Amino acid sequence: MAAYIRNPVLRGFNPDPAICRVGDDYYIATSTFEWFPGCQIHHSRDLRHWQLLGRPLDRVSQLDMKGIPDSCGVWAPCLTYSDDLFYLVYTIVRSFQGVWKDLSNYLVTSTDIQGPWSQPIYLNSSGFDPSLFHDDDGRSWLLNMLVDHRQRKLFGGIVLQEYDKAAQQLLGDPRPIFAGTGHGCTEGPHLYSRNGYYYLLTAEGGTGYEHGMTVARSRSIFGRYEVHPANPLMSSRDTPEAYLQKTGHGGLVRTQNDDWYTSFLTARPLTTRGRCITGRETALERIVWRDDDWPYLASGAQVARQQVEAPDLPDYPFAAKAQRLDFDTPEIDIHFQALRVPLTPDWVNQTERPGYLRIYGRESLSSCFEQSLIARRVQAHATETSTSVQFEPETLQQMAGLVCYYNSAHYHYLHISGDEFGSRTTGKSLRKFINVSTADAGGVSEALPAGLEVTGIDTVYMKADYNGAALQFYFALVPGQWQAIGPVLDGSMLSDDYVQESGTGDFYPAFTGAFVGLCCQDLSGKNRHADFGFFTHQER
């Protein structure tokens, strides 16, 4: 029975996939933007089953993101392997509004894919989406798109510069090699060699519904590059009914059996050309080389498929992810990430109170500096997430609970908070309430004018039921006795599409996806903590 790859292979916010094979092992590196640790690396041996292996940018010396805006941070990493060494190049974007783009490109290396990874080597700051190409003659080359601020152009073509691996530095000056095609927005360059040609793979058309993958080739690494006669190699721009949308930005890989595949970015909208709560994801397609020495999709079309013929490799499945976490180990689950800063025991740990995850409150959900929030990706259009919270606020400035989050200006938050002013009029101790807050483009509203009082209740159970665009929160004071709180909310606003639709003025970057997680705030500065008893996440 034939085996198939079912797309997307990396579901939920895994964009800009760079694929790499080392022996029998396949790796894909994807962007993480403001989420820490940085750069996700997934592993496979059959291209069908994938497992999150780790995130190599795990310390501030490699990735300093405190204060960066939403959807900045780690962009489009590229993972390669040469001379028994893994190379990971990546961009840290520090600002992206207006004509000026502040960013830097770095390189880290490791002899082992699981690290430790080196301190970063600074490369340049001329543009984003860097990649390394290791030629057969032993020389290595750095590519990136060039930022051109003139007339708000932004995309100034692709430049190439030699990288000296021994000296760990760039040599000479960058050379422009490709100006792009009429599709525009030329970025995400990757270079390959085959049959005497250099093949340049780029993303064009922007990362939305006009996105596509362009191939050009040259006998010389410096060009002139001629464009594929059937350009683009891949795009869904003319097929709104296709299951996989926004297709483009990826890489090529050759299997042990001389089969070729391309990794690529994609998205699954809730409605035709609608919003994508799972963000930009990763998929695979099979590539064939015709007699003209050009690559084509194996299907003969330009539209990527949901189901693709798998290579003839031994089946290599991984254990299923746990649907329930009981916080009964010292290690925080690998699928959780934080915003901008490391997960350190001073603000989040599973050791101070065994069987609980403890979070110390810090800044608000609007902060770009020190939020106390850990969350995991929403990877399906229907999910159910629940937790239990023990939290005793001492002031109205302390909150904790379950959050569905896109960025610092867009989230839905079921939380416990206090009302110290009520205690002054009643003579009682501080009262405790639960409520739902929604942030939309900077404005924050409460679902219930006064909240629901839960004074004296030790444990509050919380649940988020995400069903397409509909998001409903629930609470329980007795396990299993769920009651809805607040109205059905618009879950689709936690998407790139909504945030970009609602932006005004200069382009506002929105490149991530919906997350669901646990958080605590203490705006008084006293670092009041909350304890979470479990975390369940199920896809339906």
Cite the active site residues. Answer: 16, 187
CA 306 – CA 154 distance, rounded (Å): 33
Q: Is residue 29 within 8 Å of residue 78, measured between CB atoms? A: yes
Residue 384 structure tokens:
């159910």
Residue 291 structure tokens:
């007699």
Q: Which helix (H) or strand (E) holds 499?
A: helix 496-502
Q: Choose among 316, 310, 280: nearest CA to 298.
A: 310
Buried b (16+ CB within 10 A) or exposed e, 334-368: eebbbbbbeeeeebbbbeeeeebbbbbbbbbbebb
Strands 398-407 and 515-522: antiparallel
Burial of 445 (0-12, 13-18, 19+ CB in 10 A): exposed
Residue 115 structure tokens:
């690290």
Cα torsion 22, 27, 32, 37 to 10°: value is -70
Residue 138 structure tokens:
């032993």
CA 249 – CA 280 distance, rounded (Å): 11
CA 3 – CA 33 distance, rounded (Å): 34
Q: How far apart are the first and last CA of the chain?
A: 27
Residue 110 structure tokens:
């490791």
Q: Choose among 367, 411, 356: nearest CA to 389.
A: 356
CA 510 – CA 457 distance, rounded (Å): 39
CA 164 – CA 139 distance, rounded (Å): 7
Q: Is residue 123 within 8 Å of residue 106, measured between CB atoms? A: yes
Q: Which helix (H) or strand (E) holds 386?
A: strand 382-390
Q: What is the DSSP string of 116-153?
A: PPPPPEEEE-S-S--EEEE-TTS-EEEEEEEEE-GGG-
Strands (DSSP E) found in 24-183? 25-30, 35-36, 40-44, 51-54, 73-82, 85-95, 102-110, 121-124, 131-134, 140-148, 154-164, 169-178
CA 53 – CA 76 distance, rounded (Å): 18
203 by DSSP, 3-state: which?
A: strand
Q: Is residue 103 within 8 Å of residue 90, measured between CB atoms? A: no
Residue 374 structure tokens:
């850990």
